[in-house]
Chain A
Amino acid sequence: MKLKYALRAATALALISGAAANAETITIATVNNGDMIRMQGLTDEFTKKTGIDVEWVTLEENVLRQRVTTDITTKGGQFDIMTIGMYEAPIWGKNGWLVPLNDLSAEYDVNDILPAMRDGLSADGTLYAAPFYGESSMLMYRTDLMEKAGLTMPEEPTWEFIREAAAAMDDPENGINGICLRGKAGWGEGGALITVVANSFGARWFDEEWNAQFDTPEWKEALTFYVNLMNDYGPDNYATNGFNENLSLFQQGKCGMWMDATVAASFVTNPKESTVADKVGFAMAPHKDGISKKANWLWAWALGIPAGTQKEEAAKKFVEWATSKEYLELVASKEGWANVPPGTRQSLYDNPEYASIPFAQMTLKSILAADPTNCCEKPVPYTGIQFVAIPEFAGIATEVSQEFSAVYAGQQSIDEALAKAQEITNDAMEAAGYR
């Protein structure tokens, strides 16, 4: 009996190891976001057009990062296209891990891609990944609660006004928090948020000599403002809230305001998911009075081709197709303009049908306000806004954001956290040879 099973297993294994990959199939690694899933559903159109089959490997963001990093650093060749972010694209491009995208066809019209996106995905002037969708951050607020409070949201609010509005809308008895913001540890979660808040208070991560700046008054002011605002008018346990937690709170009507990714706009205005779909207004990310930089971040999910793939031509065809104007029209014709991946092409925002969507113009304005080559009020030696585009940053910022989250949870003081952040960052930068 046992022998029979063993034989069967052995036979099965032998059969499997013999199976070879089809030359006409490309494998794409991606994340599970709405726009990506929609793209998977539409790949049949691509196969019909080109005869190239597509295999998808969908993974959770952090798992995907680890997975594709392992593969690209060892030249494992498991993927022909990788979905990567704005943080990875310039670093990997510089290392020669990605195929340069400098020979895209004329009809692709690379100049139509928003300049901020193009810059953020390039290294030394060469584009290394094509943006599939792009986002900045903006303020979403409840129009009904603002009206009840007798306030009008300006298009470019200051943090002082946000505090006033949060105080007016905060209504603990009815379970409404004045404002919801991320506090969760992680460089891409709470770390990204506090960095843009700090930028909008005139702070920066590093000075021109790569010295950490957490000991400056700007950082202290920004962190103090955030902590007081959230302690007074934020949800309980905000130290563990990230994008999804806040989305859930906002959709259930438990937040007066929420500043987060522009991509959230399509979720909170979708009546199928959101109880407040018809009561949401949009404004630019706030800034401190007198500071020109707003709390805008810039992010894109982009498609890159790992150097060394055997199927470069087929992969390029797919990248061109998935990030083309034609693809945007395809999505619009099948699922409506509200579901088109936002934030990549100027032509989309010139389209009158798209422009009539409530959050479209504010999304574009937010993206245009973000400049990855010039994040801060003072000069910096790095590119990136809510991150610093160097390989060491993810590790450093995750540790720093853990120190900040400990403040949010009431486990240490602001001064302690800033001192630790300063030490962590300077030590790591010294070890990496920047200082």
Chain B
Amino acid sequence: MARMVSTRRKTINTVLAWGVGLIIFFPILWITVLSFKSEGDAIRTPIEVLTAPWTLESYATVQERSNYLKHFWNSVILSVGSTFLGLLVAVPAAWSMAFVPSKRTKDILMWMLSTKMLPAVGVLYPIYLLFIRMGLLDSRLGLTIVLMLINLPIIVWMLYTYFREIPGEILEAARMDGAGLREEILYVLTPMAVPGIASTVLLNVILAWNEAFWTLNLTAATAAPLTAFIASYSSPEGLFYAKLSAASVMAIAPILILGWFSQKQLVRGLTFGAVK
């Protein structure tokens, strides 16, 4: 049924949406502004900050002091690697839960989610000791596995909800045509769930990119991603707001741009199944 929407209402909605959006985006905007100011100007009152001259000096200092590219590639490898590793486990798992549920499926799903309720620091020592034994400390491989494990519940849950929207009859039809389990998942289920999988991938890449507990605690010099890069600019004695802002902008820019371009996909994926 079509609805009549008055222009007035539309205007109000638009203004409201922009207002809320701006409030949420404001901290990022302000960090960006500060990153283009000198250290002395960055601590002044907001109006003085805005009228102060623009400069690239913070970016120059950050470039000079840190190996940005090394941290950047670590972030890319960790976030993409852990997400795809997660998919390898989660797609079959979600398939079985969605299409051949057992009595315990619901419990298993809840149990998986409950692992997210444990504060990460509670298992820091066991994991640290395991990593020492296996020689995985400060390695990208070890961190990829940990990030995959902590995001796995979310990946499984998201895929499970998407898969449930797909009628089982279609899979049955494929089976009737002689498709095996592998073909069924690879050629029938996966293509149909592409929007869902895509948004799962995007969300998990973002989560892994921003993860700042394990990435700080399990790395030193080699595997440290951009979270460690930001942490290295926070100072207890001394005001380095401009440099800290520049480092933050450099760390969030890639994921922000990725989010920008994949906005449509992300929204479609998140609302997938809501409208028939």
Contact = CB atoms under 8 A, between A and B. Distances in A.
Interface of A: 2, 5-6, 9, 12-13, 16-17, 19, 21, 27, 29, 31-34, 37, 40-41, 55-61, 63, 66-67, 70-71, 74-79, 188, 243-244, 247-248, 251-252, 261, 263-264, 267, 272-274
Interface string B112-140: 00000000000011001101100001111
Contacts of A78: 137-138, 220
B38 to A, nearest CB: 8
B231 A63 contact: yes
B231 A74 contact: no
Given A57-B221, A273-B40, A33 B235 contact: yes
A63 B39 CA distance: 24
B236 A60 contact: yes
Contact of B237 (A2, A17, A243, A251): A243
A341 to B, nearest CB: 12
Nearest to B48: A252
B216 A59 contact: yes
A301 to B, nearest CB: 9
B220 A74 contact: no
Interface stretch (B24-32, B77-85, B250-258, B261-269): B77-85
B231 A16 contact: no
Contacts of A17: 139-141
B144 interface: yes
A70 B217 contact: yes
Contacts of B77: 9, 12-13, 16
A13 B216 contact: no
A5 B80 contact: yes
B132 A66 contact: no
Given A76-B132, A244-B238, A248-B43, A32 B232 contact: yes
A45 B125 CA distance: 38
B234 A9 contact: no
Interface of B: 39-40, 43-44, 65, 77, 80-81, 84-85, 88, 124-125, 128-129, 131-132, 137-141, 144, 216-217, 220-224, 228, 231-240
Nearest to B74: A16
Contact of B239 (A76, A77, A273): A273
B44 A252 contact: yes
A71 B216 CA distance: 12
Contact of B236 (A16, A58, A61): A61
Contacts of B81: 9, 12-13
Nearest to A15: B140
B135 to A, nearest CB: 9
A74 B132 contact: yes
Contacts of A32: 232-235, 238, 240
A12 B232 CA distance: 26
A60 B244 CA distance: 11
B232 A33 contact: no
Given A16-B139, A32-B234, 4 more contacts: A17-B140, A32-B233, A41-B65, A188-B236
Contacts of B125: 70, 74
A2 B190 CA distance: 11
A182 B131 CA distance: 40
Contacts of A59: 216, 228, 231-232
Contacts of B137: 76-78
